[in-house]
Amino acid sequence: MASLSIVPPPAPRVIEPVRLRRLEALAEKVLWLSAWTIHNANHIRPSRDGLKVGGHQASSASLVTLMTALYLDVLRPEDRVAVKPHASPVFHALQYLLGHQTRDKLERFRALGGAQSYPSRTKDTDDVDFSTGSVGLGVAITLFASIAQDFVKLKQLSPDKRPAGRMVALVGDAELDEGNVFEALLEGWKHDVRNLWWVIDYNRQSLDSIVNDRLFNRIDSLFEMMGWRVVTLKYGKRLEAAFARPDGEHLRQWIDECPNSRYSALVYKGGADWREHLSRDLNRYPGIRRILDEHDDDQLHGLMTNLAGHDMEAVLEAFHGIEDDLPTCFIAYTIKGYGLPFAGHKDNHAGLMNKDQMAGFKAKLGIADGTEWDRFAGAKLPADELEEFLAQVPFAADGVRQHVAAPVPVIDLPVPQVGGGKASTQEGFGKILNDLAAGDSDLASRIVTTSPDVTVSTNLGGWVNRRGIFHREEVADTFRDEKVVSAQRWAMAPTGQHLELGIAEHNLFLMLAALGLTAPLFGARLLPIGTLYDPFINRGLDALNYGCYQDSRFMVVATPSGLTLAPEGGAHQSTNTPLIGMGQDGLASYEPAYVDELGVLMAWGFAHMQAPAGEGGSIYLRLSTRSIEQPDRPMTATLRDGIVSGAYWLVEPAEGVELAIVYCGAVAEEAKRAHAAILEDIPGAGLLAVTSPDRLHADWLKHRQGGQGPSRIERLLAPLARDAGLVTIIDAHPAALSWLGAAAGRRVEPLGVDHFGQSGDLPDLYRTYGLDENAILDAVARACLA
């Protein structure tokens, strides 16, 4: 079993024997309850569809000792944990022992209304800090949560006077195959991340096979290079004692050199096979022969599987030995399926104990029939002693650990005066934030911006110049100190309100997810805004979905977008992103054409980000660099409602008219010119401005499913003739608007872009891809002739 470069742990803390016995007894109960919860779901609960339920008994077992030590002894109320997805049953078992989970939900594990397959902030009722499921993302978000905690603490925004908590990730070793973990590591180094623990469950098995020995050969060096302390937990107390005996160094060497695949196979086969291999390879050493003679097969198996990740005393010494805030990686050697009949088998990832195996396991633990769900059935210590111990667990001492933060008042945003002139929505965004930065409102003080190295090109420069870049320590602007002329001021300090990131969209969305959870995690309301180029939403989509899944609240400003970014070419011209906005749960997406619309939507978005669970969410604004003529109009309550609801008539249709042009975004100019050109032939034709295909679509589905009468889009289109035609146009995939035909029961001629773009200027590209005035007029002709 290949050895890592072992860094000696800090000076061990003496663990009281009585405390150790209680934790070991509770760990055995956690192993039982997690395994039984999965068994019940697969073998006892009636199946109505014949589908396998699953639950990862082996992956859960490898983390039992580590998680028991953390939750029942080491963690404090302010600490936050991302649990390895496949250890969800262990988490639920611990919460059940602490009184935060119900038997009913355990019995319905992976069923409707029961404990979730993977820990979920929004769907589990026990105390989940970070949702996990998509491997690697739960690991990385703890790093960004630590940065978010620094932001809150250094600005004294949190009402909680407790010290900074540790952000803890319980990491499956195969999760380190995920590239986003290493992207996050580098970002953490740049931001001098602190109060961060990653506990790697190094069981050397992945979903399909044994992890290659070479995978971890450099892992300690990698972490140390990024400024982390590495603590390797390889051997438990019994093995360490054996190594200290005469010839014990040969036993250590044998295990160190044993390939992962062979070690795992011997774990599965048991004591007799351990004896055979050790006798064959080490029989020439008298000290080894004495060890073999002193142990029967079961005892020998127990000795050879005494890895530190399953040795409660070794685990507690390591965890309690860390008393500073340096980021720390614990590499804990474990066995997949430890304590279960199929421990070590390469196929055990999705394996389940059969009924006979479970009966034997239950008998071994002394659990009588009918007492399977009793919290202390079969426990090695009296129930009242364990109950008293659990009542004093530090992590649960304060009861509910989730905060409720007061909302930040949302003011009317200072929309730049551009009426009658030309402007782009991206330009308007920069001006709105710049004006906010110049004031001293509570709203401005709670905004935090972040961007993956496109701060200036997404018009955040003015905000950053006024509000500064956040860093734990003050860092001077060298160019300014050297009197080099620059429009940008890049001084860093704890007072800054912008987090500059490297070019990694996963990091952007994980940073936004962490910042958007500061209200429940740290009691401080922040209003995060992240900017990026619109096409690169696709790069970070997994992390964006992850943030929305746990109901994090943030604003994504994606710009520039579409073919309108003409000279940049197809790699930078987004087409499918409005469909992402429509399909992504927890994210309200908008594409305003005008700056006054943008001002309304940003103000609404800040309120939407603070609404209670089930009512609010995050917001996505798709903006453009294209400057178009801005309307000079008052912002009436009716217009404001239309902008937020998703659509309004820029030109209202006559009753019974046969046609309307529907546009979204920066193609407003082409739509307006085409509309003006058809009025002589089709007097009374309508011109509908759509600010959010997403909101319209969601409202339509809600009304159809709820029987609540006509939806907003149906009411808006009601004046049109029943056989009227709609021409829809958007600088994106036409499906974003073509669904209006189904909603309105009318013919649609959809215009948009469903191929990769290419370099060019706007007249050429709009003509080539059918977005110009002539293309709209041709579509009008088809609609009227149909």
- DSSP letter string over 684-747? T-EEEEES-HHHHHHHHHHHHHHT-S--HHHHHHTTS-TT-EEEEEESS-THHHHTHHHHHTSE
Q: How does residue 14 score in pLDDT terms, banded at 50, 70 and 90?
A: confident
pLDDT, average across residues 87-104: 96
The answer to whether 731 and 669 have CB atoms below 8 angstroms apart is no
* Strand ranges inside 271-428, DSSP E: 328-333, 422-423
- AA identity, residue 80: R
User: What gap in Å lies between CA 12 and CA 322, rounded to an integer?
Assistant: 10
* 496 alpha carbon, distance to own chain's centre: 25
Q: Which range is most confident: 49-53, 120-124, 509-513? A: 509-513
* 318 alpha carbon, distance to own chain's centre: 28
Q: What is the sign of the dihedral through the CA atoms of 429, 640, 621 and 741? A: negative
Least confident of 214-228, 365-379, 729-743: 214-228
Q: How does residue 15 score in pLDDT terms, banded at 50, 70 and 90?
A: confident
Least confident of 196-205, 266-275, 450-459, 677-686: 196-205
HSE toward the beta carbon, residue 690, CA cutoff 13 A: 30
pLDDT value, residue 488: 65
Q: How does residue 205 score in pLDDT terms, banded at 50, 70 and 90?
A: low
Least confident of 46-50, 106-110, 234-238, 286-290: 46-50
pLDDT, average across residues 407-432: 85
pLDDT value, residue 414: 73
Q: How does residue 1 score in pLDDT terms, banded at 50, 70 and 90?
A: low
> The pTM is what?
0.93
Parallel, antiparallel or unpaired: strands 647-651 and 686-690: antiparallel
Neighbours of 749 (CB within 10 A): 24
pLDDT value, residue 222: 87
State the chain's mean pLDDT as an integer.
91
pLDDT, average across residues 153-164: 86
Whether residue 785 is predicted with pLDDT greater than 60 in this model: the reply is yes
Least confident of 310-314, 364-368, 781-785: 781-785
pLDDT, average across residues 667-682: 96
pLDDT value, residue 208: 40
Identify the residue with better confidence: 346 or 574.
574
Whether residue 668 is predicted with pLDDT greater than 70 in this model: the reply is yes
pLDDT, average across residues 411-427: 80
Could you give the percent of the chain with pLDDT greater than 90? 80
Coil vs helix vs strand at 427:
helix
Q: How does residue 264 score in pLDDT terms, banded at 50, 70 and 90?
A: confident
pLDDT value, residue 278: 95
User: What gap in Å lies between CA 199 and CA 82, rounded to an integer?
Assistant: 10
User: What gap in Å lies between CA 518 and CA 510, rounded to an integer?
Assistant: 13
pLDDT, average across residues 376-402: 91
pLDDT value, residue 7: 44
User: What gap in Å lies between CA 154 and CA 517, rounded to an integer?
Assistant: 17
* Residue carrying the six token digits 């995978």: 215
Encoding tokens for residue 378?
A: 């079969």
- Residue-by-residue DSSP string for 597-656: HHHHHHHHHHHHTTSPTTT--EEEEE-----EEPP-----HHHHHHHHHTEEEEEPPPTT
Q: How does residue 751 score in pLDDT terms, banded at 50, 70 and 90?
A: very high
- Residue-by-residue DSSP string for 335-353: -TTTTSTTTT-TT-SS---
Return the exposure string of 512-529: e unless at least 16 CB atoms fall within 10 Å of the residue's CB, then b: bbbbbbbbbbbbbbbbbb
Whether residue 11 is predicted with pLDDT greater than 70 in this model: the reply is no
Residues 6 or more apart whose CB falls under 8 angstroms from that of 261 comprise 210, 346
pLDDT value, residue 701: 94
Q: What pLDDT digit, counting tens, does each position of 620-633 carry?
A: 999 999 999 999 89
pLDDT value, residue 10: 54
Whether residue 5 is predicted with pLDDT greater than 80 in this model: the reply is no
Neighbours of 244 (CB within 10 A): 10
User: What gap in Å lies between CA 747 and CA 742, rounded to an integer?
Assistant: 9
Q: Mapped to the 3 state alphabet, what secondary structure does 191-259 carry? A: CCCCCEEEEEEECCECCCCECCHHHHCCHHHHHHHCCCEEEEECECHHHHHHHCCCCHHHHHHHHHHCC
pLDDT, average across residues 327-342: 93
User: What gap in Å lies between CA 181 and CA 168, rounded to an integer?
Assistant: 14
* Residue carrying the six token digits 């429509």: 582
- Picking from 429, 484, 494, 385, the residue whose alpha carbon sits closest to that of residue 29 is 385
Question: How far apart, in Å, are the Cα atoms of 174 and each of 167, 203, 212?
Answer: 20, 9, 10
Encoding tokens for residue 595?
A: 């700056």
User: What gap in Å lies between CA 553 and CA 563, rounded to an integer?
Assistant: 29
Q: What pLDDT digit, counting tens, does each position of 549-601 carry?
A: 999 999 999 999 999 888 887 888 999 999 999 999 999 999 999 999 999 99
pLDDT value, residue 484: 47
Whether residue 246 is predicted with pLDDT greater than 70 in this model: the reply is yes
DSSP single-letter state for residue 663: E
- For residue 510, the surrounding DSSP H or E stretch is helix 505-515
Return the exposure string of 314-350: e unless at least 16 CB atoms fall within 10 Å of the residue's CB, then b: bbbbbbbebeeeebbbbbbbbbbbbbbbbbbbbebbe
pLDDT value, residue 274: 95
The answer to whether 459 and 435 have CB atoms below 8 angstroms apart is no
* Residue carrying the six token digits 């580590």: 66
Q: What pLDDT digit, counting tens, does each position of 101-155 carry?
A: 999 999 999 999 999 999 999 999 999 999 999 889 999 999 999 999 999 999 9
User: What gap in Å lies between CA 626 and CA 623, rounded to an integer?
Assistant: 9
Whether residue 247 is predicted with pLDDT greater than 80 in this model: the reply is yes
Parallel, antiparallel or unpaired: strands 628-629 and 686-690: unpaired
